[in-house]
Structure 1
Amino acid sequence: MTQFDPAPVVAALRSVTSPTRPLPLHEPVFAGREWDYVKDCLDTGWVSSVGAYVDRFERMLSQRAGDAHAVAVVNGTAALHVALMLAGVRTGDEVLVPALTFVATANAVAYCGALPHFVDSGPATLGLDPEALAAWLDETAERRDGACVNRRTGRRIAAVVPMHVFGHPVDMDGLAAVAGPRGIPIVEDAAESLGSLCRGRPTGGLGTIGTFSFNGNKIITAGGGGAIITADADLARRARHLTTTAKTAHPWAYEHDCVGFNYRLPNLNAALGCAQLEQLDGFIAAKRSLAAAYREALAGIPGVTFVDEPEGCRSIYWLNAVLVPDAAARDALLAATHAEGLLTRPAWGLMHRQPMYDGCPRAPLPVAESLADRLVCLPSGVTAGSGRSA
């Protein structure tokens, strides 16, 4: 095992961020009209799940997602849950999910009564690898009665969920070439990639249906919140119905035609989201500038590779990250950076290693396991690099 020295990395990170306090991984910035819009909600009394800001937020999101329909909901996990239902995922199905993802991706599958089926990542994107997926499906799946079925378990493979890790787009064209002929809908987890482009097209609107998150640590925040994105007007209508307790339209009667969910985003949160969306382009520019500074500062340090955007894509670099030689080097870098007030973190624990999912079907996962052992995420807030000299 090669000895890894974290000191040059720490020095490089300090040269970029010039921290005067403990520097978190990510934090929100409120520099626009947040106070004005939230106060307007309070002044008018429109603070709950309907209101002008909800409508405006959805229109703004629709434009950012390539003029698809947008339905605002309480958080990204709720968005993914309903998106999977709309894609046809049912109890007893399997859903193809990257092993390297945040737990919400797998949890949303479980909420549907389905099983996550874990697949490997690609080294260039960190996300789901279409080539590895194609090879795995050739080995384990077959078409049966119009559906793609796992021949080992007999369960239907009902959807595939690519997640754009740290804002870096998955190869969506490659994935469509694998999923389309097999009849597998693509439910796009774009929680971390609002504003990223995949070959000129915005993430979130590239699958059958997609989702965003506006948690406090995302590039924009509504203090929570999420959205369902689709180009299909009927799917959007059904999403709106399901997330509003499946209440049938009537001026006063409370009648519901199926089991629905109380998932609609409050107007108060949407107001915050509108003010944040107005600043999104500036946030993206700041994050890409920070990524460029990190890339330059880290160049040439032995054993360190900066995680760059995939070829043909524009990433928002929601989180900047580096790869180091092994788990021992990762842990040494985490300890050294935290000692200096740079609050780095490793990748998520792989999904197949979580106790509730360790018995789920999975492909070989050599790339995901290697990435998880070697990834270190760097402070990546919009203002993280603002202390450096111009």
Structure 2
Amino acid sequence: MKVPLAVPNLNGREAEYLQECIRSTFVSTAGPFVNRFEQQIADISGTDTATVTCSGTVALHMALEGLGIGTGDLVMVPSLTFIASANSVRHSGADVWLVDCRRDDWTIDLELAGEAIERHTVAHPAGRLHVESGRVLKALMPVMIMGSSLDFDAHVRFARQYGLRVVVDAAAAIGAEAADGTALGATGVDAVCYSFNGNKTVTSGGGGAVAAADRGLVDRIDHLVSTGRVGTAYDHDVVAYNFRMTNVEAAIGVAQLERLEQFLVRKREIHDRYVELASRHPDLEPFPTPTLGRSAYWFSGLFFTGDDLGRCDEFRSFMVGHDIDVRPFWKPIHLQAPYAGAISTDVSVTDRLWRRIVPLPCSTGITDGELDFVVDRAAEFWGDPSRHV
């Protein structure tokens, strides 16, 4: 039995909608599915509008550029994230200010970030001037790691205190909610950015999206990703990009979002199985569960709390040896070569965490038998006497 880590669930109307694209010949960057997908995303996000892009990284990049963030600017980003978060900042022309995460929920440590701002910056009309570098801190990019919800109120208060914009990396968090069921785009943040890569809960094969309460921002981003074309002739008023999503990709996305709630229920079931697995061993914890809002539970798995980090590598090898796809977790941004000289807070918590994080298979199409197999093999490795085989 082979169990992949995360593969798309394409058992809905994806094939039907793709055939519709082919019959209509709308296979490129114009077509009815693009509009339908954008409206679905806006509805889920609690905004009037959204715009789709060719990737999640581009969505973040365009949100920053649409907000006027670029050369000479800084964006605070957690070091515990996939490298695309930081890359999007660099693509905009700005640079990152890396911040450690909190031990309890693995999200950006706002208290530490505030201390760094107070220590290293002074007030500036556009944000906060980082004295040593001469750059202006203009934005905060919290990451909804593993699709986990955030304390959005705290992030918005923090941003207002320092005159910053908030661009949320919600790459894996489609369907997540803030406290009291508030949709992500209705929390007071400036933009919420999603990814629809093949391993995400909802996929379009590739692609991303930006949702924002500010219709003007969405319009600016839509203009930027569409070559800056004005009118029906070939007139362009800005150096822009061809970063659009195709109708074919959007067709897949529309079919996927029709089953979003079904996907989220299955993700929660998988999470609960791994919570129960972790409870059987003193050296294991489950991934954090947010106390505010609803998580999308994109990835779930085990967190190792023991002393011998080599056990994590041994566990991954053991699982792979049983045809279960278990991989290392993302290497933090401060350890990546392109960001070796980046401005950074102390990142000791991130250093302690990342090698202990072990995502386990979490495809929404995983069968109960496959999930049992994963749990049993993991229990076998960790020496759990209560396992059922």
Aligned to 1:159: 139
Matches within 5 A, 1:233-382: 233-250=215-232, 253-324=233-304, 325-326=306-307, 327-382=309-364
The 3 A distance-change label for structure 1 pair 112 and 296 is: same
| Residue pair 2:316, 2:327 contacting (<8 A) in 1 also | yes
How far does residue 205 in structure 1 lie from its aligned partner after superposition?
A: 5.2
Distance 1:221 1:112 in 2: 25
Distance 2:120 2:294 in 1: 34
Distance 1:119 1:303 in 2: 27
Distance 1:366 1:384 in 2: 36
RMSD value, Cα: 1.5
How far does residue 130 in structure 1 lie from its aligned partner after superposition?
A: 1.6
For residues 84-123 of structure 1, give each alpha carbon's deviation from its aligned partner in whole angstroms, at most 9, with x where no partner exists. Answer: 1112211121111110111111111111221111001122
| Residue pair 2:149, 2:292 contacting (<8 A) in 1 also | no
How far does residue 385 in structure 1 lie from its aligned partner after superposition?
A: 4.5
- Counterpart amino acid of 2:175? G
- Say whether residues 1:106 and 2:86 are aligned partners: yes
TM-score after normalising by structure 1? 0.91
Aligned to 1:58: 38
Distance 2:296 2:204 in 1: 18
| Residue pair 1:214, 1:225 contacting (<8 A) in 2 also | yes
Aligned to 2:17: 37
Q: Which runs of 4+ in 1 moved over 4 A?
A: none
How far does residue 345 in structure 1 lie from its aligned partner after superposition?
A: 2.0
Distance 1:45 1:156 in 2: 47
TM-score after normalising by structure 2? 0.91
Distance 2:125 2:56 in 1: 33
Match of 1:76 among 48, 52, 56: 56
Which has the higher mean CA deviation after the structures are superposed, 52-61 or 169-178?
Answer: 169-178
Match of 1:197 among 177, 190, 198: 177
- Counterpart amino acid of 1:338? V
Matches within 5 A, 1:379-390: 379-387=361-369
Specify every segment of 5 or more residues in structure 2 that has no aligned partner in the other structure, as ranges.
Answer: 373-389
- The percent of aligned pairs where both chains have the same amino acid is 33
Aligned residues between the structures: 367
| Residue pair 1:208, 1:230 contacting (<8 A) in 2 also | yes
Which has the higher mean CA deviation after the structures are superposed, 326-335 or 309-318?
Answer: 326-335
Q: Secondary structure in 1 aligned to 2:302?
A: strand
| Residue pair 1:188, 1:204 contacting (<8 A) in 2 also | no
How far does residue 146 in structure 1 lie from its aligned partner after superposition?
A: 4.8
Distance 1:203 1:123 in 2: 23
Specify every segment of 5 or more residues in structure 1 that has no aligned partner in the other structure, as ranges.
Answer: 1-19
Distance 2:249 2:208 in 1: 10
How far does residue 352 in structure 1 lie from its aligned partner after superposition?
A: 1.1
Matches within 5 A, 1:87-98: 87-98=67-78
- Counterpart amino acid of 1:346? P
- Counterpart amino acid of 1:271? A
- Counterpart amino acid of 2:223? H
Aligned to 1:13: none
Q: Secondary structure in 2 aligned to 1:369?
A: helix
- Say whether residues 1:136 and 2:116 are aligned partners: yes
The 3 A distance-change label for structure 1 pair 93 and 67 is: closer
- Counterpart amino acid of 1:333? F
Match of 1:121 among 97, 101, 115: 101
